[in-house]
């Protein structure tokens, strides 16, 4: 089978969970014997969409037509709303014949992501607020993403979602009819370098990894740390919400104690090194799809403490591979973090259980095999 994957963000140019999943799926499909091509932004040695990332939805269209003529794929899969016009090119090009099958992999519903741009509330009081960049996303960018997402979901032969929770959102918010669950994968790519550990990192800290935005719930984590003396938190990531978080650390008196350290944007070797010394990965989000970093932590044998939202409970099994707590509940989060510190043997047991779960369910070859079953079944139904 010849498969064309189209995505706006791809490593190493971009630190992107979507792009990482494209590469992981491609690795798994290649191992199964399929011929896979990836079409992204143009580079010196590869065709693609010219110009900046923001123009990708338009500039990818000519490159899509060229790839369809040259590669003649059996399946084209677009990723996220950025692929809507590329999907249109596929539908136009196949007027003369029934192939290729058009699939769309949508990691989130932008209807829900738009709703998540709101103040964080804990114990009846607001503890965090979206900034100007996120408000612009809510009122300007999100409606465009919703429009393109709906267009793609309603016209694709097959819509894929990373979790059952996201699949239900796509049915409700986008009007998608043919939605299947295809979980994210990890472990199929060669390391870009050895794990990067630094002496100042130490060990036994809590780790947050991700883009800094209001829906990540980091202020909730700060509130939880106030009741955990001597606990340390390392934050790997950057984003539009960083300045507000730095100010919050000062407001809560966590900066002087050294309890919180902002490490900025970190590549894969640095994240791998940080995971190797972490007591737990903490994911206090109010909304997610299926966070890739959760799978990476589990693959490294690190227990996960996370909000019980979106697709997270489908990956993290409370009491077995980590701890799940209600979102926006600093007290419950603090209790879970205290449990990690109080019983490192139990934390290690849950981390090892997470490693086994990733091996069984989330390796690229496993996910690629599921992808092939879903696509072949949809192809038979179309015929």
Q: Residues with Cβ < 8 Å from 26, sequence gap 6 or more?
A: 5, 36, 38
| C-alpha–C-alpha distance, residues 313 and 296, integer Å | 16
Cβ–Cβ < 8 Å for 299, 353:
no
pTM (2 d.p.): 0.94
Q: Is the pLDDT of residue 350 over 80?
A: yes
**Structural domain boundaries, residue 293:** 199-361
| C-alpha–C-alpha distance, residues 42 and 51, integer Å | 8
- Is residue 194 domain-resident? no
Share of the chain above pLDDT 90, in %: 86
Q: Are residues 292 and 154 in the same domain?
A: no
* Owner of token pair 């940080």: 274
- Predicted confidence band at 190 (pLDDT cuts at 50, 70, 90)? confident
Share of the chain above pLDDT 70, in %: 99
Mean pLDDT of the region 169-179 = 96
Q: Are residues 38 and 174 in the same domain?
A: yes
| C-alpha–C-alpha distance, residues 372 and 340, integer Å | 39
Q: Are residues 183 and 204 in the same domain?
A: no
The pLDDT score that the predictor gives to residue 26 is 97
Q: How many alpha carbons fall within 13 Å on the CB side of residue 330?
A: 20
Q: Is the pLDDT of residue 104 over 90?
A: yes
Q: Residues with Cβ < 8 Å from 139, sequence gap 6 or more?
A: none
Q: 335 vs 76, 101, 187, 258, 281, CA distance in Å? A: 46, 49, 31, 21, 15
Region of residue 230 (left: phi > 0; alpha: psi -120 to 50; beta: else): left
| C-alpha–C-alpha distance, residues 329 and 361, integer Å | 30
**250 or 191, higher pLDDT:** 250
Q: Are residues 162 and 272 in the same domain?
A: no
Q: Are residues 231 and 334 in the same domain?
A: yes
Report how many domains make up the chain. 2
Q: Is the pLDDT of residue 44 over 90?
A: no
């Amino acid at each position: 089978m010849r498969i064309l994957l189209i995505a706006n963000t791809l490593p190493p140019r971009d630190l992107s969970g979507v792009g990482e999943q494209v590469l992981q799926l491609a690795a798994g499909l290649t191992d199964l014997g399929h011929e896979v091509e990836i079409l992204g932004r143009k580079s010196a040695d590869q065709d693609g969409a010219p110009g900046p990332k923001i123009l990708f939805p338009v500039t990818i269209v000519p490159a899509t037509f060229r790839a369809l003529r040259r590669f003649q794929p059996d399946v084209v899969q677009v990723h996220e709303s950025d692929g809507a016009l590329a999907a249109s090119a596929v539908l136009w090009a196949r007027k003369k014949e029934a192939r290729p099958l058009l699939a769309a992999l949508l990691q989130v519903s932008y209807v829900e992501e738009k709703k998540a741009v709101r103040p964080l509330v804990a114990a009846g009081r607001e503890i965090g607020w979206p900034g100007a960049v996120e408000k612009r996303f809510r009122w300007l960018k999100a409606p465009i993403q919703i429009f393109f997402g709906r267009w793609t979901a309603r016209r694709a032969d097959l819509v894929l979602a990373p979790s059952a929770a996201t699949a239900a959102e796509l049915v409700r918010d986008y009007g998608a009819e043919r939605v299947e669950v295809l979980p994210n994968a990890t472990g199929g790519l060669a390391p870009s370098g050895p794990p990067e550990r630094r002496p100042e990192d130490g060990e036994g800290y809590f780790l947050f990894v991700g883009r800094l935005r209001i829906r990540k719930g980091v202020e909730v984590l700060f509130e939880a740390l106030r009741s955990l003396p001597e606990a340390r938190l390392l934050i790997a990531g950057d984003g539009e919400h960083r300045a507000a978080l730095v100010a919050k650390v000062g407001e809560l008196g966590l900066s002087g104690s050294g309890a919180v350290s902002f490490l900025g944007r970190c590549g894969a070797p640095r994240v791998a090194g940080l995971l190797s010394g972490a007591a737990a990965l903490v994911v206090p989000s109010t909304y997610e799809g299926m966070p890739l970093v959760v799978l990476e932590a589990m693959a490294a044998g690190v227990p996960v403490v996370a909000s019980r939202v979106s697709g997270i409970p489908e990956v993290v099994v409370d009491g077995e591979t980590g701890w799940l707590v209600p979102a926006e509940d600093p007290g419950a989060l603090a209790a879970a973090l205290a449990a990690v510190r109080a019983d490192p043997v139990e934390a290690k047991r849950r981390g090892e259980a997470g490693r086994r779960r990733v091996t069984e369910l989330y390796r690229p070859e496993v996910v690629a095999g599921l992808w092939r079953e879903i696509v072949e079944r949809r192809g038979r139904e179309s015929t």
